């Protein structure tokens, strides 16, 4: 892992100091022992490649790498030996990697020990349903082989198109009740002549099925000729735009004169009253671990979250025709969020005061591959207020106290085909963790013969998309992001509590001129079935509490889940094949007992899976969850009805949720927060005393 500070423009100098804590006074220490949750380094990935290739030489085996990640030590080991004494010099736990490979057309799961020995300690064949993550290299090869396939070239000529302007992408095929025996994908192609916005010019009417083990086309059919959407109006590059131009806001830059107000030591981030570990995973992207917050009154760090990350992203499309019905994507399990992470652009993807981090992943041949600027970390001052009050009741005085809110943001952007997902973890000094995803990029568009909405209304009883331009229909679809949040609120034994806001009549009626009020009735979930929640039906407070830790007045220490405005429920029937695989979205909230192996909501091997290894299946065991080490699963859902404003590229829409302290502190933890020292160069203020 490498990190670097980009050059800064000195327009606005902001120095931020929050609550006094040991962080602000600590000096830089020499490198300690490697953190057991650190991402795999370049050299470690090389060792993994060497060990596996020595067992399965490529000269005699067809070997491809699909996932290489940290096989983390047991949670108890980390909490007892690392979290309690991070600077200790005793023997660290073994350093291991979890590896998914294909060897001679079979999926294998291996555990490779990198320290203290260098050896393969486990190697087993996956004989169940589903296949590992698709590699970038095999997808690119499938597209190129399709372009060079003579029947396809003939189909392109028949349409009067130039084959040199054709580009192809891949689509997972899903599962629809059939027996799967081969790793296959669909290949979909686009015409780029006149625009770089290739997704707006799909070539319809051609079926291409590609076998990834044999690396050849196994099914080809040219069954229809559909009008190609025009290139006009689809370009989004700034250099290609012509007047009149859109809004041009003034320049705003936030820069910190003394560098960032946080510190990164071997993956551990320290900022204000927060401390957490940040790592990269080729499937999940950013993983936040060991998040704790400094309690000024107790003079110690208190645990909040052991581990949090996106677990799966389910994107089903609503077109049921032959060339579209299979488009129900599981972006983490099929394509890899980290694998699809892009190098972020300074001053655009992240502000001028951002620090960037690089990471490595294993390519298809096992070689370590660097993604530069895959994470950025920055302090955000968006003009929000941390807390304030103006007191006018005291005669002759006006008392005003205001504190500006400054937060810390960890960001990654994954470009999965046509969509760009902006993943933010925002830490606030008040103790909140705000988790947000932004959706932007290009819509998935279907070519058609329709020129006007009247054509659709005449031909289709139930339209399955929006006509954006002539011959271009953006298909209705969903985005469901499920997060796995292993909260340890002030320790491991936690409970999940539903506090329902219930309307009550005044009893007896003569007791008050009022007729009604509402009160809170709390219910502790005993088992997994008690904790399944579809948000929106009734007003409710959802809390993760530590019943063993209480405030001075007796309230259990807790954190509450505050859902955002976007909490769409699934609309597909539960027995529809995509929804069987995506059954983890049937509820917005699940709670399960901690289990190291239950990490991916859609299962370990997702491509062409049958939905028999999902969060919904694990939870059907209905295990006990009261006062135990438990995991919270939260789904952020978007029903996306496209509009013309989403054409030709979509302005970002965002959704998410917040984890906020609930009787975790004795009082407002930022009551004594200091005002940030702000210098505004070349500005004159007319300030009243």
Helix (H, G, I), strand (E, B) or coil at 333: helix
For residues 235 and 195, the answer to whether their CB atoms sit within 8 Å is yes
Is the CA virtual torsion 372, 374, 379, 384 positive or negative?
positive
Two tokens at 429? 């000094």
Tell me the helix, strand and coil percentages in the chain, rounded to 5.
15, 40, 45
For residues 316 and 331, the answer to whether their CB atoms sit within 8 Å is no
CA 230 to chain centre: 34
**Catalytic residue, candidates 129, 331, 490, 646:** 331
CA 114 to chain centre: 28
Interaxial angle between packed helices 150-158 and 136-147, expressed in degrees from 0 to 180 and rounded to the nearest 10 = 60
Asked if omega into 508 is within 30° of 0 (cis), the reply is: yes
H helices present in 2-64, as ranges: 22-25, 42-55
Q: How far apart are CA 590 and CA 586, in angstroms?
A: 10
Q: How far apart are CA 326 and CA 452, in angstroms?
A: 27
- The secondary structure element, H or E, covering residue 483 is strand 477-487
- Name residues whose C-beta falls within 8 Å of residue 169's C-beta, 6 or more positions apart in sequence: 139, 143, 187, 188, 189, 190, 417
H helices present in 358-466, as ranges: 453-459
Find residue 99's DSSP bridge partners. Answer: 68, 110
CA proximity to 366, closest of 95, 97, 76: 97
- Name residues whose C-beta falls within 8 Å of residue 164's C-beta, 6 or more positions apart in sequence: none
Which DSSP symbol is given to 666?
Answer: S
Q: How far apart are CA 84 and CA 492, in angstroms?
A: 14
Q: Give the HSE-up count for residue 413: Cα atoms under 13 Å, Cβ half-sphere.
A: 23
Q: Active-site residue 419, yes or no?
A: yes
- Name residues whose C-beta falls within 8 Å of residue 577's C-beta, 6 or more positions apart in sequence: 174, 175, 176, 177
Two tokens at 426? 């925002």
Q: How far apart are CA 209 and CA 180, in angstroms?
A: 14
Q: Classify residue 676 as exposed, middle or buried by CB count within 10 Å of its CB (0-12, 13-18, 19+).
A: middle
Q: Active-site residue 56, yes or no?
A: no
For residues 610 and 130, the answer to whether their CB atoms sit within 8 Å is yes
For the chain, give the number of residues: 689
Give the count of beta carbons closer than 10 Å to the beta carbon of residue 256.
18
Give the count of beta carbons closer than 10 Å to the beta carbon of residue 577.
20
**Catalytic residue, candidates 131, 191, 419, 421:** 419
Find residue 374's DSSP bridge partners. Answer: none
Beta-strand (E) ranges in 41-192? 63-70, 95-103, 106-115, 119-125, 166-171, 184-191
Q: How far apart are CA 5 and CA 536, in angstroms?
A: 43
Two tokens at 28? 């830089």
The residue to which tokens 């969509």 are assigned: 419
Pairing between β-strand 677-679 and β-strand 13-15 as defined by DSSP bridges? antiparallel
The residue to which tokens 């699809």 are assigned: 340
| Active site members | 331, 419
């Amino acid at each position: 892992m490498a990190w670097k500070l980009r050059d800064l423009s000195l327009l606005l100098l902001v120095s931020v100091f929050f609550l006094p804590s040991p962080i602000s006074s600590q000096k830089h220490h020499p490198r300690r022992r490697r953190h057991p949750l650190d991402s795999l380094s370049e050299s470690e990935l090389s060792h993994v490649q060497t060990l596996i290739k020595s067992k399965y030489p490529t000269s005699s085996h067809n070997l491809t790498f699909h996932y290489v990640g940290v096989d983390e030590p047991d949670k108890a080991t980390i909490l007892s030996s690392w979290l309690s004494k991070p600077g200790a010099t005793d023997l660290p736990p073994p350093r291991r990697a979890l590896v998914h490979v294909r060897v001679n057309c079979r999926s294998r799961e291996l555990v490779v020990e990198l320290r203290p020995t260098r050896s393969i300690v486990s190697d087993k064949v996956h004989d169940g349903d589903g296949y590992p993550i698709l590699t970038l290299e095999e997808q690119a090869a499938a597209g190129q082989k399709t372009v060079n396939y003579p029947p396809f070239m003939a189909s392109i000529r028949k349409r009067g198109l130039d084959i040199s302007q054709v580009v192809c992408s891949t689509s997972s095929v899903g599962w629809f009740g059939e027996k799967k025996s081969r790793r296959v994908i669909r290949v979909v192609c686009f015409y780029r002549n006149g625009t770089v916005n290739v997704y707006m010019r799909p070539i319809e009417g051609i079926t291409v099925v590609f076998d990834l083990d044999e690396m050849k086309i196994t099914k080809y059919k040219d069954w229809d000729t559909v009008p190609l959407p025009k290139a006009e109006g689809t370009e989004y590059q700034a250099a290609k735009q012509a007047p009149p131009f859109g809004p041009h806001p003034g320049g705003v830059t936030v820069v910190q004169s003394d560098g960032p107000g946080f510190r990164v030591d071997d993956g551990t981030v320290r900022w204000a009253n927060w401390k957490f570990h940040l790592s990269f995973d080729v499937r999940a992207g950013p993983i936040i671990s060991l998040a704790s917050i400094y309690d000024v009154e107790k003079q110690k760090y208190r645990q909040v979250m052991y581990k949090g990350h996106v677990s799966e992203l389910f994107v089903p499309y609503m077109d049921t025709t032959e060339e579209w019905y299979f488009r129900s994507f599981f972006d983490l399990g099929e394509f890899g969020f980290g694998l699809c992470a892009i190098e972020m652009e300074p001053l655009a993807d992240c502000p001028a005061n951002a620090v960037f981090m690089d990471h490595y992943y294993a390519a298809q041949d096992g070689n370590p591959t660097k993604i530069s600027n895959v994470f950025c970390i920055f302090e955000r001052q968006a003009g929000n207020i941390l807390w304030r009050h103006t007191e006018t009741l005291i005669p002759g005085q006006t008392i005003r106290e205001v504190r500006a809110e400054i937060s810390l943001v960890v960001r990654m952007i994954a470009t999965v085909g046509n969509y760009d997902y902006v993943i933010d973890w925002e830490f606030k000094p008040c103790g909140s963790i705000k988790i947000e995803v932004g959706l932007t990029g290009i819509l998935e568009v279907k070519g058609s013969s329709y020129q006007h909405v009247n054509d659709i209304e005449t031909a289709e009883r139930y339209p399955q998309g929006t006509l954006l331009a002539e011959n271009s229909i953006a298909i209705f679809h969903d985005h469901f992001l499920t997060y796995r949040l292993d909260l340890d609120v002030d320790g491991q034994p936690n409970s999940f509590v539903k506090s329902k806001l219930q309307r009550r009549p005044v009893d007896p009626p003569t007791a008050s001129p009022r007729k009604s009020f509402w009160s809170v009735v709390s219910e502790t979930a005993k088992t997994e079935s008690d904790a399944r929640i579809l948000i929106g039906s009734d007003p409710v407070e959802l809390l993760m509490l530590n019943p063993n830790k209480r405030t001075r007045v007796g309230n259990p220490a807790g954190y509450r889940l505050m859902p955002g405005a976007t909490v769409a429920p699934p609309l597909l029937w539960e027995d529809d094949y995509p929804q069987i695989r995506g059954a983890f979205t049937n509820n917005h909230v699940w709670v399960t007992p901690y289990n190291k192996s239950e990490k991916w909501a859609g299962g370990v091997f997702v491509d062409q899976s049958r939905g028999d290894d999902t969060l919904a299946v694990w939870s059907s065991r209905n295990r006990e969850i009261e006062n135990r080490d438990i995991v919270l699963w939260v789904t952020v859902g978007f029903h996306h009805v496209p509009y013309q404003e989403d054409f030709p590229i979509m302005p970002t829409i965002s959704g998410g949720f917040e984890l906020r302290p609930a009787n975790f502190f004795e009082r407002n933890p930022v009551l004594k927060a200091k005002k940030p020292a702000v210098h505004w160069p070349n500005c004159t203020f007319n300030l009243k005393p």
